[in-house]
Each structure stands twice: as C-alpha cells, then as structure tokens.
Chains A and B, each alone.
Chain A
Amino acid sequence: MTDTPLFTYTLRLADNALVLGHRLSEWCGHAPMLEEDLALANMALDCIGQARNFYTYAGEIEGKGRTEDDLAYLRDCDGFRNILLVERPRGDFAFTILRQFFYAAFMHPYFERLSASKDERLASIAAKAVKEMAYHLRHSAEWVIRLGDGTEESAARLAEALVDLWPFTGEMFEVDETERALIEAGVAVDPAALRPLWLETVDRVFADALLARPQDGWMQTGGRRGEHSEHLGHLLADLQFMQRAYPGSTW
C-alpha cells in the first residue's frame, strides 16, 4: 500500500461516520417511540452525510478516480479503518444511546478543532459536522440521564451497556505514526489531547445518570489498522450487497 497519511486519515474519519450511521439506520421503523425513530434517523443521516464528504475528499486525495461509492461499497473488512466502537451491533436502546454519547462527546470537540485545520477541505467538512455533533451529544446525554435515573430496569440496562462499551472507548484517543506528522503539521487533531475534556463530559453526565465511570483497564484496539471484529463483515454484507451482486451498474 502506498496510501498517503492524509488519505488514510480522511478514510478513517469517513469509515467511522459510515459504519456508525449504518448502525443508527438499523433502528428506523423499530425505535421505542416515534420521536426516537425520527431522532435516530436524523443522527444516521448526519453521519452518512459526513461520510460522503470525507469519502469524496479521500478519493480526490488518492487521485485514482475512486468515488464515494467505490470506497464505501468495494472494500472488504481489512480495508476499513473505523474504530471498533462503531461496528458493535446496535444492541438495545441503552447500548445505542451510550455509544452515541461516547462518540459524540469525543467527536464534537474533535470537529471543533478540525474546523481550524490547515487543510481547508477537512476544515469545511468539520465546520458543518460540529453543529450536527452538538445535537448528537445533547440528545444522547439527555437519554443517558433519563435511563440512568429512570427505572431499575433502565439503570441496569445502561450499566450493562457501559460494561460492554467501555473497553472500546480507548481506541478513540490513539495516535499512530500515520497521524503524528499530520498533527504536527496542523492538519489533523490530536485525539489524546481531548481525553481530559472527554472524561469531564462523561463524568458530568454520569453524575446526573447516577452511573460510576469504570476504572480504565485493557482496551480493545485494531480497527484503525484494518483489524476488525466479527461484526463488520455482516454489516458489509448488508451494505454492499447490491454493488457486489450487480457490479458495474449505475443506481
């Protein structure tokens, strides 16, 4: 592979957004209430929109004529660069909401900083995404509080989701060689530097949700290098079915 760091970096942002958007879209028509059908679809649309912008840019950086659809539909698991957190199956509503909260609490300040990137395209995509993530953060945080300080059952489900999800939060803050140079050049955001702010947001919301933050232990990792869980393949089987079954068609 001769991928440039900027291509890989942009692809990671795109893959995170697409895979999470896909998971959110699985709720459409099956949410606990009509208002949430609309809200989850809204968040899914935001993520898919972000993915499209990042893919289009990634294709241009690469310069081989690959379109957003080529990148989304014609790579296998090992080509995907998303963090493992976003590919976890949608789970119950507590799981979906807590994941969205963890992701939004990270991506909101992340996009805020990326909107000042020296790369103008990344900056402009991020500037739009900031507003979207502000909504995702507010909406998911309100639900975390409702579920945590709701009924016995909702608190138990949220606690269970926390145990499941926590080991997948560490990967958000990882920095590798690919990103190091871009961070130093003022193109990429340093995710590690956002961790204190992220913990502050988590602690503030958890206090109202009567939820205790787990001790940091061993964290799952690998997605950003193309090492994925068993779940991504099934997601891609759904996502890519038409493009694989009818190659070369225009839709």
Chain B
Amino acid sequence: MYAQALNAATETSKDDPAKLAAFQARIDAEEKIEPNDWMPEGYRKTLVRQISQHAHSEIVGMLPEGNWITRAPSLKRKAALLAKVQDEGGHGLYLYSAAETLGVSREELVEALLSGKAKYSSIFNYPTPSWADMGMIGWLVDGAAIMNQIPLCRTSFGPYARAMIRICKEESFHQRQGYEIVMTLARGTPAQKKMAQDSLNRWWWPALMMFGPSDTASQHSDQNMKWKIKRFSNDALRQKFVDATVPQGHFLGLTFPDPDLRFNEATGHWEFGEIDWSEFNRVVKGEGPCNRERLKARNKAQEEGAWVRAAALAHAEKRAARKAAAKIAAE
C-alpha cells in the first residue's frame, strides 16, 4: 500500500549551498543516494515521513482484509488472502527497515502511528462489510498503489527504491488476484453480481482519492520532483489509473458510480467527475468510518503484546548474562 499526500511544509534550507549543488547534480545524473551519503535535512525528513507513512499503511492495511480471513468462502481463497495479508506485514517490515537507514528507530515510528501523530493511507479507514471488498481492495486499492509505486522503484533514495521493486512485484500479483475475485463474482449468481457492484460503488471514489490532492492544491510536489522522490504528479497518476481501470470494469459488466464518466476520443482519456474533496479532507483529519477503530485495534495489539515483548527481552538478557558468567568461569 501507499502513503498519500505529503502534507508537511518543506523546510527552508539551512544546508551548505555547495553541498546542495553537488547533491542535486548527483540526483540529476540519476545516481542513487545511499544512507551514508550527505543529504539535505529536508530530503531526509521527507523520506522518513513518506517511507514510514507507507509502512504504517501496510500495517493498518492488514486490518480491513484481516476482517475476512476467518470467513473467506473457500479454502483456496482463505489461503490466498492470508498470504496476501502476510505479504503486507512483510512490506511493513522492510519499509520500516528502509526508514531506519535514515537514522530513526522502528519503535519511534510505531509510537508515532499509535499516538495518531503519523498518517497512514486514508483508504484503510473505509470498512469491508462484504467479501467482494476483498476483490475490490486488490483490484482498485492495490491497483492504485501500483500506479504510485512503480515510479518509486526509480526514486532517488537507494534503500527505498530497492524495497519498492520487491513490493511492486507482490502488489501486482495481489492486484491480479483481486481482479480475479471480482471477475468470479461478476460472472456468478445475481447475489454475487450485486455484491460486486455494491462494493465498487463504495470503493471507487476513495480509490481515486488515494492519489492525493489535485496538483493545483498539492503543496510541495515541486521540491519532491526536483529531488526525484516523486516522478509524476498526483493528477497524472490518477488519470493513468482511471484509463487503465475503467475498461477492466466495463469488461466485467460493472457500472462506475460516476455519471460524468466518459471517454474523450480526442485526448484518448477517460474523463471523470469532480472528487468530493471535503470527504477526502474529513477522512484524512480522522473523521472517516473506521479511523478510530483502526487505531484502537493497533493499540490493542501493541498493549496486549507488551508482556510478550518484555519476556523476549528479559530472556535475551538472562541468556547474555549466563553466557558472560560462563565465559568468566572458564577463564
């Protein structure tokens, strides 16, 4: 999954102009920046924020799909869904590791998520009341994520770019799997078709919002483009997603919940209606259907697991002490 809308202000640079120029020259030459290389503070901060938001999104994203693991309708689907949610946990793990190369700890990042300070992708604040949502998340949400993430495989920071290559491979598998779930429903009984259509009605607009505010409203795309953290604008990626997805939906006989959706022969693009930005802003702010629930679920797991982590730590210390004592005794 994907971290949307970088919303913090870019710092005014206090960095040495000569170093900045050399840094920019490396970026312009498409060199990868590695953890021990010099980098502007703003670059470091932006990356920590983006990579950790992305990691948090993977972790919170386990919840809406985890909701169906015990109720998946066949053993094959159950195994595939479990494996998918497990993949997301794995993505979270290596994204946290990529963020750690920038000098932050996983503990402090997780703490920022649990306290509500850090953001994660708003899409996971929508509920999954039906099995069709497992298909829709794969097809639309992972599909949108891939649009964002493919360019990130070439992002300027090496560890992030490398993590993204692996993540993209798995995400595109998830996307195909999701589409296949939706296809099975669309070709199924009337009840199954209805399940798929209802789910599309609920997920379509939130999926479009995943690309973040429109370019006219986005605050700091310029600097991020210049640093090649970001390579395409929000609106360009959103359009690419719509163009790819609409024919897939029509192929299944599904209707998109947008009366303004139409193909423009002249441009070759699908034009779509106005996104409800007030809903977007509301959900980002915390007033979505599941914001409170998701954060509570993460906090609950963290609190209930505290004694386990304490035990693991205590045991490791005891072992180390015993080893040291044995070494002294042997000498």
Residues of A within 8 A of B (CB): 18, 22, 25-26, 28-38, 41-42, 44-45, 48-49, 51-52, 55, 68-69, 72-73, 92-93, 145-147, 149-151, 153-154, 157, 238-239, 241-243, 246, 248-251
Contacts and interface: CB of A to CB of B under 8 A. Distances in A.
A11 to B, nearest CB: 14
Given A33-B309, A242-B73, A145 B315 contact: yes
Contacts of B206: none
A225 B85 CA distance: 35
B69 A25 contact: yes
Contacts of B312: 146, 150
A33 B96 CA distance: 13
Contact of B189 (A55, A146, A249): A249
B300 to A, nearest CB: 7
10 contacts: A25-B70, A29-B66, A32-B304, A36-B308, A41-B85, A45-B79, A69-B75, A146-B315, A238-B71, A242-B73
A76 to B, nearest CB: 17
B307 A153 contact: yes
A150 B92 CA distance: 27
Nearest to B302: A32
Contact of B89 (A18, A32, A41): A41
Interface string B188-199: 110110000000
A94 to B, nearest CB: 8
B79 A48 contact: yes
A68 B134 CA distance: 22
Contacts of B305: 31-33, 36, 93
A248 B74 CA distance: 12
Q: Which of A34, A44, A149 counts the most chain B CB atoms within 10 A?
A: A34
A92 B311 CA distance: 14
A68 B75 contact: yes
B77 interface: yes
A30 B79 contact: no
B314 A151 contact: yes
The 9 A-B residue pairs whose C-beta atoms are closest, nearest first, are A32-B305, A150-B311, A154-B311, A242-B73, A32-B308, A29-B66, A41-B86, A251-B73, A29-B62
Given A31-B301, A38-B93, A93-B305, A55 B75 contact: yes
A72 B85 CA distance: 22
Nearest to B308: A32
Q: Assign chain B's interface to a size class.
A: 35 or more
Contacts of A243: 73-74
Nearest to A24: B82
Given A41-B85, A238-B70, A249 B79 contact: no
B315 A48 contact: no
Contacts of B320: none
Given A72-B75, A239-B71, A44 B304 contact: no
B203 interface: no
Contacts, number: 138
A246 B191 contact: yes
A49 B79 CA distance: 8
Contacts of A248: 189
Nearest to A147: B311
A37 B73 contact: no
A51 B312 CA distance: 32
Contacts of B71: 238-239, 241-242
Contacts of A153: 307, 310-311
B136 to A, nearest CB: 15
Contacts of A150: 310-312, 314-315
A22 B71 CA distance: 10
A29 B79 contact: no
A62 to B, nearest CB: 17
Contacts of A73: 73-74
B311 A151 contact: yes
B89 A30 contact: no
B184 A26 contact: no
A150 B310 CA distance: 8
B72 interface: yes
A48 B78 contact: yes
Nearest to A56: B75
B297 interface: yes
A250 B184 CA distance: 7
A45 B311 contact: no
B82 to A, nearest CB: 6
Contact of A38 (B74, B90, B96, B131): B90
Contacts of B311: 146-147, 150-151, 153-154
A45 B82 contact: yes
B83 interface: yes
A45 B69 CA distance: 11
A26 B297 contact: no
